[in-house]
Amino acid sequence: MRIVKEAEEAVSASRNHLVFAYYVTGHGFGHATRVIEVVRHLILAGHDVHVVSGAPEFVFTSAIQSPRLFIRKVLLDCGAVQADALTVDRLASLEKYHETAVVPRASILATEVEWLNSIKADLVVSDVVPVACRAAADAGIRSVCVTNFSWDFIYAEYVMAAGHYHRSIVWQIAEDYSHCEFLIRLPGYCPMPAFRDVVDVPLVVRRLHKQRKEVRKELEIGEDTKLVILNFGGQPAGWKLKEEYLPPGWLCLVCGASETEELPPNFIKLAKDAYTPDLIAASDCMLGKIGYGTVSEALAYKLPFVFVRRDYFNEEPFLRNMLEVAAHILQETASGKNYASDKFSGARRLRDAIVLGYQLQRAPGRDLCIPDWFANAESELGLPNKSPTLPVEGRGAHMESYMEHFDVLHGDVQGLPDTMSFLKSLAELNSVYDSGMAEKRQMREQKAAAGLFNWEEEIFVTRAPGRLDVMGGIADYSGSLVLQLPIREACHVALQRNHPTKHRLWKHAQARQNAKGEGSKPVLQIVSYGSELSNRAPTFDMDLSDFMDGEGPMSYEKARKYFAQDPAQKWAAYIAGTILVLMRELGVRFEDSISLLVSSTVPEGKGVSSSASVEVASMSAIAAAHGLSISPRDLALLCQKVENHIVGAPCGVMDQMTSACGEADKLLAMVCQPAEVIGLVDIPGHIRFWGIDSGIRHSVGGADYGSVRIGAFMGRRMIKSRASELLSNSSSLANGISHDDLEDDGIELLESESSLYYLCNLPPHRYEAIYAKQLPETITGEAFMEKYSDHNDAVTVIDPKRVYGVRACARHPIYENFRVKAFKALLTSATSDDQLTSLGELLYQCHYSYSACGLGSDGTDRLVQLVQDMQHSKLSKSEDGTLYGAKITGGGSGGTVCVMGRNSLGSSHQIIEIQQRYKGATGFLPYVFYGSSPGAGRFGYLKIRRRLSSLKPKEQ
């Protein structure tokens, strides 16, 4: 219903006839085909539907013949540009979207608003065109989205890997989606954080027009002939199909073949407008690529589906998951379990969800009969199962629970509630394994974890926290002093090593070894909790021999390519990469198989070092299980190699050092040259730190972080060159510096600066006096390399075509090092308002210096401004103030803001108020980090063994 000024007018409007504007993305036929079924049901219910799409008209008109269907052919987005049928060109996709939807955005919005008003649309439905939601809001019309993925999720990965110029695209798309009322989420869905309210529905798939026998009769194919359909979304052009590719007695139906293409006699070319659901149902199997259309139709018509992996098709892991779940259901059905069929079809449910959801939004509080499936959709399909957390008051029960099931042979839980909870979850896994089948609502990863361990053998447990960057941030790679706080949230790893002959192998791993015919070989098997919250698979396995290249371990470059093969399993590099680093750096050889369970409560993408906590916990567990004595400092340095050389993220070392060497409620003070811990700084009792998540995903692997790092190293190279010039021409005037100024101490300073290794060793006054004006604001990579050859940074590569900021990027670490030193000194000074104000001012200065480098974000800027508003409010001043400063943290470009204030109840209330104000402005309720916990070195490791009594089934 159109939004009108008076609510009474909205309630009185007719419900019997509605006008829907249905926008369909320009990415593939899968979206259009599922829209057909929804549109058909809406029209059957008596409504008008205007479809806005770049897809060919026949896709809709061949399935629906009705005067209530209106087609408007307009392309408002471009989807993913494919280099071929199986590979997405990430950079080309971003550039095409920029050309299609960003450059003409203003005219698109104006045109769509005018058109929506002209047809008097009641509701805008989008699958899943971003600008449609914004246009609806501008026109005063409500909107909903119907999809299994959203473009902000898809393009975010493209930006990280290839499109740093187009980072703003992701935020614009997410903002557009945020205007819609709710998301109607289809199975096989990806994470879609831009949407706040979600309704889950079953598969939506095109209905059959003809039965199997009728289709085969028209094709003149008998029932005894085996038929495979080749369905690659209409893109197999150029493939060389040969007669011998098919077994005797088989025929192949080819979708999308070009008109001029000659096919062998056992291949049948289908017309461009062939109705594929009928052909799929008439076939015996399908060969193709994973997409929503092919997956849904293969499932609906119970057709075996052989698919080929697609590079950078980010929704593939989630659709593959749907296929695996369906296969599991079929397996259990064959074993005798009954599954009740749904009362309504997916399309019917979706139609009802759109109309019912629209009516609920239009008339809040109206007494409507809501179907059970609508209210219970979340519980029916199962909620994401996050890693367990435990309130402090629950310690006693959990202590008794884990002590009842495990003998602790080494180590101490140290009263940590999350560790007790993790041990309890381990104990529960045994019962899942014994039962032979997990409950319906349990995740795949828990089922995999249940069979991971031999419960009669020892298990090693380690723990490593994330960190809050209080001061130092991106200056670590320039050698700065940093102050870091280990947070309460942490990663736990449980590890068991077994002789290959005693190792519980997953079926596909067993098949792989059998195929090699080499007997039992050491295998690594990993289960990681939380896979449904990000684009990754829940399990990973490999033969440890894959790390060998001839007689020695493979290179880091080969390892990086190995883990990058499948985007859904790239996450395993953080964990498995620790094994290769130990092999290369310490000469360790792994003869036993390794089973490893990872459970982290450190949120990903929040700028609190989720990756470092995983690396440190994993390497700590491997070291403990193999009797390796590695100091926390050395372990952190080894973990940095994992991130720099195997993952490919150009981070400094402060994250790993804090996770490994930190202590609860203390700031780790470290000079990053390369990693000298100079002590632990007590946080005064009257001061407290919080972290507030902006909701904008941060990644240290992002192109902007890397470009700022490159800019800083460029600046260092230029400073060294300038110092050398001054030394070589000390008798002449150089930039206003006379010969007399260069005598004695001046010469020594220039000599030191000409060989400057860490940029932070240059004092701010020397930078301002000699070098600041000599550094350009920006420079192209090509121009820099022509003059200076190299920037001397082993973990970043200069792009010749990229324009890099230099002056701001070099200035930041020089001044940040000074700010951190001042901050550390102020923490130990006398308690006063001046102390708190000065500490806060240093935080603010750091924040704006990040922004000058290009590492700010709207969300973090808004949070810092809210802290300032709170600090300078009349109420705060009347109460002597409670909050004093805030700054963006870590790698920047989103993530978490660190806030400092008085350790008081009033401060906590103000943090909550900021949390609510941020939600009111953005729709996102930020997570608040508070509290601290020990680093991995202080925790050590637990060696546990399951008690034999707990392995026996209990009497009923």
pLDDT at position 162: 61
Mean per-residue pLDDT for 768-785? 96
Is the Cβ–Cβ distance between 852 and 895 less than 8 Å?
A: no
Q: Which residues pair with 878 in a beta bridge?
A: none
> Tokens 């897809």 map to which residue?
55
Dmax (CA) for the chain in angstroms is 101
What residues contact 928, with CB distance under 8 A and at least 6 apart? 690, 691, 692, 693, 911, 912, 915
User: pLDDT tens digits, residue range 61-80?
Assistant: 878 899 999 999 998 988 88
pLDDT at position 754: 94
User: Percentage of the chain with pLDDT > 70?
Assistant: 80
Whether the per-residue pLDDT at 681 is higher than 90: the answer is yes
Mean per-residue pLDDT for 100-109? 94
User: pLDDT tens digits, residue range 346-378?
Assistant: 555 565 556 544 444 433 333 333 333 223 322
Mean per-residue pLDDT for 43-57? 90
User: pLDDT tens digits, residue range 727-749?
Assistant: 988 745 445 555 455 555 788 99
pLDDT at position 861: 93
Whether the per-residue pLDDT at 1 is higher than 60: the answer is no
Whether the per-residue pLDDT at 796 is higher than 60: the answer is yes
| Extents of the domains making up the chain | 19-200, 212-330, 406-430+439-465+490-651, 703-729+747-932
Whether the per-residue pLDDT at 34 is higher than 90: the answer is no
C-alpha span between 762 and 776 (Å, rounded): 18
Q: Where are the beta strands (DSSP E) in 66-139?
A: 69-73, 123-127
pLDDT at position 118: 96
User: In one letter, which amino acid is 622?
Assistant: I
CATH no. for 703-729+747-932 = 3.30.70.890
pLDDT band of 931, cuts 50, 70, 90: very high
CA 910, 914, 919, 921 torsion: positive or negative?
positive
Q: Is the model more confident about 493 or about 170?
A: 493
Burial 511-548 (b: 16+ CB within 10 A, else e): ebbeeeeeeebbbbbbbbbbbbbbbbbbbbbbbbeebe
Q: Is the model more confident about 240 or about 790?
A: 790
pLDDT at position 298: 83
Quickly count: other Cβ atoms within 10 Å of residue 829's Cβ: 12
pLDDT at position 274: 84
pLDDT at position 743: 56
User: pLDDT tens digits, residue range 630-650?
Assistant: 999 999 999 999 999 999 888
Lowest mean pLDDT among 406-420, 767-781, 903-917, 938-952: 938-952
Fold classified for 19-200:
Rossmann fold (3.40.50)
Active centre residues (catalytic): 655
Name, of 280-289, 340-349, 502-511, 545-554, the range with top average pLDDT.
Answer: 545-554
pLDDT mean across residues, the chain: 83
pLDDT band of 952, cuts 50, 70, 90: low
Whether the per-residue pLDDT at 462 is higher than 80: the answer is yes
Whether 212-330 and 19-200 are alike in CATH topology: the answer is yes
User: Which residue, 428, 548, 434, is CA-closest to 494?
Assistant: 428
Mean per-residue pLDDT for 688-706? 76
Is the Cβ–Cβ distance between 639 and 647 less than 8 Å?
A: no
C-alpha span between 907 and 891 (Å, rounded): 26
Q: Kindly report the CATH class assigned to 212-330.
A: alpha beta
pLDDT at position 701: 46
C-alpha span between 432 and 449 (Å, rounded): 9
pLDDT at position 556: 95
Whether the per-residue pLDDT at 608 is higher than 50: the answer is yes
pLDDT at position 404: 75
pLDDT at position 441: 37
Burial 489-499 (b: 16+ CB within 10 A, else e): bbbbbbbbbbe
pLDDT at position 430: 67
pLDDT band of 153, cuts 50, 70, 90: confident
Q: Which CATH code of 3.30.390.10, 2.40.40.20, 3.30.230.10, 1.10.3720.10 fits the domain covering 406-430+439-465+490-651? A: 3.30.230.10
Q: Is the model more confident about 708 or about 649?
A: 708
User: pLDDT tens digits, residue range 405-415?
Assistant: 888 999 999 98
Lowest mean pLDDT among 251-255, 638-642, 822-826: 251-255
Mean per-residue pLDDT for 309-337? 64
Mean per-residue pLDDT for 285-296? 83
Is the Cβ–Cβ distance between 547 and 560 less than 8 Å?
A: no
What residues contact 107, with CB distance under 8 A and at least 6 apart? none
pLDDT band of 165, cuts 50, 70, 90: low
Is the Cβ–Cβ distance between 714 and 808 less than 8 Å?
A: no
pLDDT at position 906: 87
Whether the per-residue pLDDT at 563 is higher than 60: the answer is yes
pLDDT at position 892: 85
pLDDT at position 516: 80
